[in-house]
Structure 1
């Protein structure tokens, strides 16, 4: 297949010669097509040539006007000032803003279509006397009420709306005059200025207009002016299929082609160009498939299946393949679903800025300042602070961020004070948490907030310079640019406004911004939005989410100018927009060999999902000429799995891995559960944000129990100075008040975050239920311990660490292992490392030492508990530091897990058992208590070393777990895929 642009390139070269291309300006509706035409020119000549100059239609107009198109937000602000000056209205800017955008859109369309404004607004006055207000939709009526405030009757609403109409004409002229005085314009005003002044200083000999469809009147006038001067040539892209009759896809080209003749038409095209092969393609047999699916996600996953169905084409001719997103929100899912076998991919739409951490950072910062700061201005709500501290970019802002997180996580209150957050912290951390002056209001407050956000983004950019992540750096820069752009607009305006407007504008700008992917645009598979497909041809096309509402894009006629007047004055209407999308749709099918279109058939708001009207139209019109296959994908159907991509241990990842100096048993267990979980939590140091909820989850429940047990045994043992006897335990059990006192203190510290002695918490009903359960558990612990009395308490909630040496890739490496031990006690000559567990009991079948390190047994045999208990016991047994500090005397150390729910009577023994060696294949295995960790040290240390070597082996990537059910509860499942 020869593409439209290949034929354009051949014709331009034949008519002008390669040596004269520098005298030509090629004008496209959008920028992307120029890259493909350049490629076609190179292919046609076979050597490097001096390319033409390329412009978009917007560039062409702007290059011939002394006016400058102002920022859209700035334009609405200026329009508001003109409106207030003209009407004396006291409507606040945040109420006016959406209506201002609508007015600006109307003025822009009016000028682009060269409407006589005075005549139009006289016509509008005739509408003012109308009594029927039913032409407004419910949404428009609601918007009006939001603008004017609550109104009691339609008559009042109508009168207020008519008041705006009466002022539209004077406002249009006053606004344009204000802009012109400052050398500014909106786009339509600038376009109109160019054609009405009949600009003649066009510096190129020839202007070649390629691939246009609907032309605004200003564009038509400019095209005709250049044509009449003998300076313009036109290349239209169409198919005879939709050029005949009244087909909407060809409506506008049919209208223009006589006065703006096609250079590729019969009789005008250069020798060797077959006009029929260019313009008669939709009637040819094609492989067309309609695919219905119940979700957008299933459509995205179908990408993998579709690409594989193309076979070698993906590798041998990837430029012939296009994935078109009718709903660009599918981009993230599609990226995840591209198979590893795909080579180069060019994503023309760019990555949505709203989906980047840079955007969420601004969101959580602004939420912390506007919603998280209490009225006293001295205290924050914990949930908002935690969202900032746990953000993946927070560590780049300040080195103190992890310290602040650790501080409030260890001693947190539900309302941390500003002083606590900033005291003894670096300048960057103080900048984050220091509130603005309470005297700032309105515009001044907004400008200060934007400067604050800009400062933090700058700190983030500087702190992340060492990261080899182009998307990170580009998204931070784009976000920083948006913030500064807004700051300049607000700083210049003299209008007062509320912070709600700032949030709305930020959201609009972020949603409309994308981060470009760098690469060679003319190479590889193309992933693109509908608008980027203009003038481009592909052999193999997949159109995703081709639903009614996406194709055509949800068009509306929101305007102050009624539809009948817009149509009468040849302004843009809904019909125009639908015809344009019909052209885009049929152009995509035009030269393709096979086209697959997916659509969502699920019900939404009681309405069944529908395929695009253009799909139905093509199915009916093509009749028997085209055989259209119909496929249905079911929910849960394994079209293709979402790929959880392994993380290679190179570059930044390798550097971070080498920087790890210590590991806890929890970190090692995360690796066994899923290496990617270890990567996100330990290597990237991502954390789940803390919950502000004051109720008791499993973690807090366990923490309260641990603290209560610590307080009890500190008291019974006099901080380890005396043995704990059965009589002491009996005496305490009889003193119900004393046990409750210890439990209340634990609640105060671990739930309410109050460390004041004698503080008595006020419990709600659910908290009282948990307190009663904990009282039962504490008494059960005391009963079990009484059976083992007397015993000595050696340490409670203390840290134990030891260096562990292992070999990785032929090199020795040491790492510090350890963590906090719940309790170390001695019964006779036996040391026990006791780990309290308030959760579900162990599985009935104990693992062997080897099975402790087998990822398959993490859930079924609770091997994570064994690994932690064995590791702590081995550290204490072999640590000279611990032996000397606590006078352990080399006594045997036994690992013990005390499951409170399982400990029903005095016979309960918490010392762990392991499966004896050589039990493989036996129907009934035997088990032995580990009364001395030294008895299993060799095998445990060997397997631990192998696991650590696995973690730190830079040749082995972090792979996703094979147990996909673990992903359901993983906090990283959204970013992992």
Structure 2
């Protein structure tokens, strides 16, 4: 099928003598469209000819006005300088929080040719509000309201002064230059161009409308539209503005309106996926499938671009990128933030130190790591990393590195103190080192980002040197805006079959195959509303763009892209993954399903079920499975290291975690934090109780109520001692740690209150952190079973086995009906607390003779009490009523548990498999390795 640009080129080429083409001007929506139009035009002639002037509309307007477009950074400083004269109290960092919105509003005012902008600002002012809201003239606004209204009075002056200054210097922002061309049609009418062709435009701003109308009245323009009956002859949003244009007749004869969406055959496949990683894989396969066709992959969510960029080159298909990426996609953006953050932290501190977490981010940054390796060698870098991990320090100064004999010049930039200008010089030093190395790990993309950052920093530096005052906080705000809003355009001219684009870049272009990624509500149409200082009513009255206009524009781009496509792949995410949140497929997909395919019976819609065995064996939601190659390591672990209640719990909840943690002995890297976690919290609680009980355990003196009260009184001093001697890495003098330690003190004191309230007579402490082991001969293997009991007490009724839990445990966790199968219950992953107590009982029984000798008493197992003190549920009495089972039933159940686990572990047929229960993954050390997307 002939593409739109081929049709437009043919219309213009055949409508004029070849020698007259050079006197024409062709204006298209984008530079990408310009490239393809030129190619289509050149294909129409076998002999050379002088082509028309062919430009994107932005380039055309700028050239016509002969103005220089200012960078946003320049504009921010220009606006701030004007505003500071009107309001000297305005701080730059607060100004940066709203100036991007203001600049966008200025653009829209000019694009929309608001006749008298001051009336718009007056509309937002106090005087007009009194009239509009029919308030009494004696009405007094609050101070906040008055500040709000006076803001618009100042902004009105800023707008006027900014325009006056820029006009004198022949500089502009985009909206301003469009307005000037629209208000000066003679700039267009007085040149040698005989005719202007506006090709493929759709939603025109008021300024664009006026420019074309002026040329149309002079019989010097023609518009070539790309429209379809489907939305032109209905109320579909895609044709909202175009229907008005056609009906008005202001733009001359209407060319062209086709019926592709009604008559042409189309194969539409709608893919529903539950995570992003599967989408990247599917898109790669669709690209392979369409390698002989002109194929566009439309990226609606910019977060999908980089994963796609990593996958597509492996297809070995020629492709071209035409998309704008924010600078924040660069690794340099993190370097920028880290360095500025260090300068800000040092600003009010005499000691130039960096927190371990910041240092880790610096060393983990791909670019900075390569720069350091380039400076000191990979081996010395690895030595440095090893020393940092081994030091367990929370804060580092530069002298620590000097003392280690590993000075790193680059790193010294993070230990400096100074102004915003000093910070820029440090950034420039790092950028300079980057440009000196040629690292294959960095794609050209990173060098593009680095060059843009270098230019922006030069611009800011010039402003600072010219006398502009900018503190570090203001500089940080400016950089954050730059990283967020500055985009790197990819304007490649490569005419490859596979193109990767944003939806906006597809304007005027046609493809045989179209794949749209992450086609969800919120991506297309977008839910991101353009920020504005002007409310809906003001926009409506003064003709400024409305959100519904943007919605209609994107609807047009979508349906226009469909017009000539033969195969369309729509991929949406269903939100099955918790990380995705609430996801709905786009309303445009529903329109295709419920309207378009009824409108055109030649459209076939299918919903392929993805068999990921055909896509490199990737399965949706598949587990990680590790098959056994040898039993040597497992047998060695079982016989020497041995099973414990904790390792059994790990095995039953996730055998893969058990394998990594106990067989391969993979340890989670200790992460140094400024705030204590649940592990440290629990350790402190256990240690305080151990220290308080130790004198009575060693002396075997009985514990009475007075002892319990004395222990409670000593909690604070013991807590201080443990913090001082064992938890030096944490600051407990302020912040959350101070609160958490007060919680530790409170819950331990409550524990002693509970012990006193339930006191039934003097008792003796027989064991603290008592380690017990038992060797069980099972299937010709001497299995070692072990456990550490927090506390063993001798009461008048017998022994009490105590386990402390800093988490919440409830009685239901230990409750069992007497009719249940105990052996089966012990295999339930959810019964970890019960299983632990029963294993303790088993170990007491297995070591009964030795314990009786150690304790100097006879142990009566029937009187043994198994109890948990839950520090988050101290109000409950949590004990296991073992007497609903006989002693033999308990021992048999444990033996069956051990036999089953050992049989599975020593079977080559049984693999280690990732759990399917996500709640088991929540606190797993390996969550970042194997968690499903």
TM bin (shorter chain): 0.5 to 0.7
What is the rounded CA distance, in whole Å, between the counterparts of 2:351 and 2:47 in structure 1?
68
C-alpha deviation, 1:301, in angstroms: 3.5
What is the rounded CA distance, in whole Å, between the counterparts of 2:263 and 2:471 in structure 1?
58
> Could you tell me which residue of structure 2 aligns to residue 669 of structure 1?
none
> Could you tell me which residue of structure 2 aligns to residue 56 of structure 1?
56
Q: Aligned ranges for residues 131-142 of structure 1 at < 5 Å?
A: none
> Could you tell me which residue of structure 2 aligns to residue 396 of structure 1?
371
After superposition, the C-alpha distances for 1:348-395 in whole angstroms (9 at most, x for unaligned) are 225654333233332333334434888223322232223223433233
> Could you tell me which residue of structure 1 aligns to residue 30 of structure 2?
30
- SS of corresponding position for 1:615: helix
C-alpha deviation, 1:498, in angstroms: 4.8
> Could you tell me which residue of structure 1 aligns to residue 360 of structure 2?
386
> Could you tell me which residue of structure 2 aligns to residue 299 of structure 1?
279
Residues 749 and 156 of structure 1: is their aligned pair in 2 closer, same or farther, counting only changes over 3 Å? Answer: closer
After superposition, the C-alpha distances for 1:157-198 in whole angstroms (9 at most, x for unaligned) are 333222223344333222322333444322222222223233
Q: Aligned ranges for residues 724-743 of structure 1 at < 5 Å?
A: none
> Could you tell me which residue of structure 2 aligns to residue 908 of structure 1?
none
Residues 549 and 372 of structure 1: is their aligned pair in 2 closer, same or farther, counting only changes over 3 Å? Answer: farther
C-alpha deviation, 1:599, in angstroms: 2.7
What is the rounded CA distance, in whole Å, between the counterparts of 1:574 and 1:694 in structure 2?
44
Residues 47 and 355 of structure 1: is their aligned pair in 2 closer, same or farther, counting only changes over 3 Å? Answer: farther
Aligned CA RMSD, in angstroms, stands at 5.3
What is the rounded CA distance, in whole Å, between the counterparts of 2:234 and 2:199 in structure 1?
24
After superposition, the C-alpha distances for 1:181-226 in whole angstroms (9 at most, x for unaligned) are 4443222222222232332454544432211111112212222333
What is the rounded CA distance, in whole Å, between the counterparts of 1:110 and 1:482 in structure 2?
27
After superposition, the C-alpha distances for 1:586-638 in whole angstroms (9 at most, x for unaligned) are 11111112223233333899985333333334444336234564648799999
Contact 2:275–2:580 (Cα < 8 Å) also in 1: no
What is the rounded CA distance, in whole Å, between the counterparts of 1:59 and 1:450 in structure 2?
33
Matched, 1:435 2:416: yes
Which moves more between the two structures, 963-972 or 231-240?
Answer: 963-972
C-alpha deviation, 1:299, in angstroms: 3.5
> Could you tell me which residue of structure 1 aligns to residue 765 of structure 2?
none
What is the rounded CA distance, in whole Å, between the counterparts of 1:492 and 1:357 in structure 2?
30
TM-score (norm 2): 0.61
Contact 1:304–1:337 (Cα < 8 Å) also in 2: yes
- SS of corresponding position for 1:63: helix
Residues 513 and 79 of structure 1: is their aligned pair in 2 closer, same or farther, counting only changes over 3 Å? Answer: closer
Q: Aligned ranges for residues 788-867 of structure 1 at < 5 Å?
A: none
C-alpha deviation, 1:128, in angstroms: 1.7
Q: Aligned ranges for residues 810-959 of structure 1 at < 5 Å?
A: none
C-alpha deviation, 1:778, in angstroms: 14
C-alpha deviation, 1:41, in angstroms: 2.6
Residues 170 and 374 of structure 1: is their aligned pair in 2 closer, same or farther, counting only changes over 3 Å? Answer: closer
Matched, 1:548 2:548: no
Q: Match for 1:375 among 316, 325, 349? A: 349
Matched, 1:199 2:198: no
Q: Aligned ranges for residues 84-233 of structure 1 at < 5 Å?
A: 84-86=84-86, 88=87, 90-117=89-116, 118-125=118-125, 127-129=128-130, 155-197=142-184, 198-200=186-188, 202=191, 204-233=193-222
- SS of corresponding position for 1:174: helix
Contact 1:25–1:204 (Cα < 8 Å) also in 2: yes
Q: Aligned ranges for residues 504-903 of structure 1 at < 5 Å?
A: 504-513=477-486, 521-556=494-529, 558-602=531-575, 608-622=582-596, 624-626=598-600, 629=605, 631=607, 691-692=672-673
C-alpha deviation, 1:527, in angstroms: 1.6
Contact 2:31–2:491 (Cα < 8 Å) also in 1: no
What is the rounded CA distance, in whole Å, between the counterparts of 1:779 and 1:247 in structure 2?
77
Residues 157 and 293 of structure 1: is their aligned pair in 2 closer, same or farther, counting only changes over 3 Å? Answer: farther
Matched, 1:73 2:73: yes
Residues 211 and 598 of structure 1: is their aligned pair in 2 closer, same or farther, counting only changes over 3 Å? Answer: same
Contact 1:364–1:388 (Cα < 8 Å) also in 2: yes
What is the rounded CA distance, in whole Å, between the counterparts of 1:13 and 1:450 in structure 2?
53
Matched, 1:418 2:398: yes
Say how many residue pairs are matched.
Answer: 670
C-alpha deviation, 1:418, in angstroms: 2.5
Contact 2:612–2:618 (Cα < 8 Å) also in 1: no
Q: Match for 2:252 among 236, 247, 261? A: 261
TM-score (norm 1): 0.58
> Could you tell me which residue of structure 2 aligns to residue 332 of structure 1?
306
What is the rounded CA distance, in whole Å, between the counterparts of 1:516 and 1:170 in structure 2?
34
> Could you tell me which residue of structure 1 aligns to residue 291 of structure 2?
315
Contact 2:182–2:211 (Cα < 8 Å) also in 1: yes
- SS of corresponding position for 1:287: strand
After superposition, the C-alpha distances for 1:649-702 in whole angstroms (9 at most, x for unaligned) are xxxxxxxxxxxxxxxxxxxxxxxxxxxxxxxxxxxxxx999745698999xxxx
What is the rounded CA distance, in whole Å, between the counterparts of 2:432 and 2:106 in structure 1?
38
- SS of corresponding position for 2:214: helix
Which moves more between the two structures, 4-13 or 504-513?
Answer: 504-513
Residues 180 and 502 of structure 1: is their aligned pair in 2 closer, same or farther, counting only changes over 3 Å? Answer: same
Residues 180 and 44 of structure 1: is their aligned pair in 2 closer, same or farther, counting only changes over 3 Å? Answer: closer
- SS of corresponding position for 2:596: helix
What is the rounded CA distance, in whole Å, between the counterparts of 2:516 and 2:212 in structure 1?
33
What is the rounded CA distance, in whole Å, between the counterparts of 1:234 and 1:624 in structure 2?
31
Contact 2:343–2:472 (Cα < 8 Å) also in 1: no
Residues 116 and 598 of structure 1: is their aligned pair in 2 closer, same or farther, counting only changes over 3 Å? Answer: same
> Could you tell me which residue of structure 2 aligns to residue 239 of structure 1?
228
Residues 263 and 6 of structure 1: is their aligned pair in 2 closer, same or farther, counting only changes over 3 Å? Answer: farther
Contact 1:94–1:497 (Cα < 8 Å) also in 2: no
Contact 1:293–1:601 (Cα < 8 Å) also in 2: yes
Q: Which runs of 5+ in 2 are unaligned?
A: 135-139, 620-667, 680-720, 731-740, 745-767, 774-846, 848-910, 916-920
After superposition, the C-alpha distances for 1:391-426 in whole angstroms (9 at most, x for unaligned) are 332332561382654554565643222233467777
- SS of corresponding position for 1:225: helix
Contact 1:349–1:514 (Cα < 8 Å) also in 2: no
Q: Which runs of 5+ in 1 are unaligned?
A: 134-152, 266-274, 438-444, 644-686, 699-743, 754-763, 767-774, 781-903, 905-961
Residues 562 and 529 of structure 1: is their aligned pair in 2 closer, same or farther, counting only changes over 3 Å? Answer: same
Residues 155 and 468 of structure 1: is their aligned pair in 2 closer, same or farther, counting only changes over 3 Å? Answer: closer
C-alpha deviation, 1:130, in angstroms: 6.5
After superposition, the C-alpha distances for 1:454-510 in whole angstroms (9 at most, x for unaligned) are 22111122133677743343333233333334434555563x455344334333323
- SS of corresponding position for 2:366: coil
C-alpha deviation, 1:110, in angstroms: 1.4
Residues 105 and 21 of structure 1: is their aligned pair in 2 closer, same or farther, counting only changes over 3 Å? Answer: same
What is the rounded CA distance, in whole Å, between the counterparts of 1:186 and 1:468 in structure 2?
34
Matched, 1:286 2:259: no
Contact 1:323–1:544 (Cα < 8 Å) also in 2: yes
C-alpha deviation, 1:972, in angstroms: 10
After superposition, the C-alpha distances for 1:53-81 in whole angstroms (9 at most, x for unaligned) are 43221212211234422222332332233
